[in-house]
Amino acid sequence: MAIESIKMPQLGESVTEGTIEKWLVKPGDHVEKYDSLAEVNTDKVTAEVPSSFTGTIKEILVQEGQTVAVGEIVCTVETEGGGSESAQPEAAPAQKEPANEMPAEGSQKPKSPVKKEKGAAAGRYSPAVLRLSQDHDINLADVDGSGRDGRITRKDIQAIIDSGEKPQPRSAVEAPASAKQSAPAAPASSAPAQSVPNVPVAAGDIEIPVTGVRRAIANNMLKSKHEAPHAWTMIEVDVTEMVKYRDSLKAEFKQKEGFNLTYFAFFVKAVSQALKEFPMMNSMWAGDKIVQKKDINISIAVATEEALYVPVIKQADEKTIKGIGREITELAGKVRSGKLKSSEMQGGTFTVNNTGSFGSVQSMGIINHPQAAILQVESIVKRPVVMDNGMIGVRDMVNLCLSLDHRVLDGLVAGHFLARVKEILENVSPETTSVY
């Protein structure tokens, strides 16, 4: 017999942690190699963790709702012979240690300064933890970790950033009287405020637990707002001819292709074409450099009752309006049926959000980190417009609202880009535009 470890897998590029949403097995269950063990939320998508071995589930080390770093052990499997003996001692501490369990909301874990010094403070930091702590000038020696053996996770650092208060220097509390620091130790009551706000709950109020997906959305939006200096601009577009053209094709297209030809497909096509002409808009901030992406991969926002997902249309500039329309339909269907794969959420370079589907006429989107811009396509409304000949006519008008990362993009390139999108959309017609 041997005890093998199942670790939190890397479920996508730049993913550093995952949340166990639901265990599909329990201790004592027999599993075959590649059987699904648990559902994990990461990067706003649910994936399944497969077993790497055939055997019996020995121990589950991570509870449902707990977030752990990629590479950390989540459970152990007892196999028959040929296994690694090294997995046993690594899994054993978790059986006794409360450090593997997430503290209850609003509560503090018991602290063990000596153990912390031997564990997390000894340098067991992931690259994501190091980068985030350095960006926000947080001393890791003063941080209490919630990971395995007191390890500091990215979530611990993010909680400190969210609270707006840096941890009290450990030396002020733990150093002996003979320590070099002359400042008196601060009382326990002056410790940093917890990141969870104290919201009073009255009779009749409904408390809704935060799911892993909702927490991932919150963290990504907060990261974007904290790191990217947002700028915003808007342009109005006369899409009267585009509306006429699409409406003339709608019924025949649905009968022939089996899915609806939406206005949104025209907008995504126009944006992808303009990105090809203004490649700087298809860029990302990377600290000491700006990365201008070669592929034009359009992220689209798809909402469910519980969350917002952002699947990606790859190489959108190479696709026809029909091809883009089909992908929009298929990706939205996968989101709503829970079948969207992690790989279908990766690689986006620019986001187009169809806020107009909810009747919105003006909005300011939060950039989908680490992209440099997001375009909100608002509702198409009929409005009286003064024409070039001085006459007033009723036209189909839409507002396009662009949020941009001012570290990467300036108003000049953003203005030219929006003007080009406007030009493309206002010149859609049966003579100049094919959906195939």
- The residues annotated with a catalytic role in the active site are 406, 410
What is the DSSP code string of 46-107?
EEEEEPSS-EEEEEE-S-TT-EEETT-EEEEEEESSS--TTHHHHHHHHHH-GGGSPPPTT-
Largest CA distance in the chain: 87
Closest CA to 331 of 317, 352, 360: 352
- Which distant-in-sequence residues (6+ apart) come within 8 Å of 334 by Cβ? 311, 340, 341, 344
* Extended beta strands in 290-343, E state: 290-292, 298-300, 302-303, 308-309, 312-313
Strands 312-313 and 381-386: unpaired
How far apart are the C-alpha atoms of 197 and 120, rounded to whole Å?
27
**Two tokens at 330?**
């298929």
Euclidean distance between CA atoms 52 and 68, whole angstroms: 19
Give bridge partners of residue 392 from the DSSP assignment.
386
Contacts of residue 356, Cβ cutoff 8 Å, sequence gap at least 6: 377, 378, 379, 380, 398
Measured in whole angstroms, how far is the alpha carbon of residue 25 from the centre of its chain? 27
DSSP string for 399-433: EEEEEEETTT--HHHHHHHHHHHHHHHHT--TTT-
**Nearest-angstrom CA–CA distance, 285 and 264:** 28
Q: What are phi and psi of 50, to 5 degrees?
A: -85, 155
Q: Which run of H or E residues covers position 5?
A: strand 2-7
Q: What φ, ψ does residue 119 adopt, rounded to 5°?
A: -100, -95
Element (DSSP H or E) covering residue 216: helix 212-227
Which stretches does DSSP call E strand in 288-405?
A: 290-292, 298-300, 302-303, 308-309, 312-313, 350-353, 373-377, 381-386, 392-405
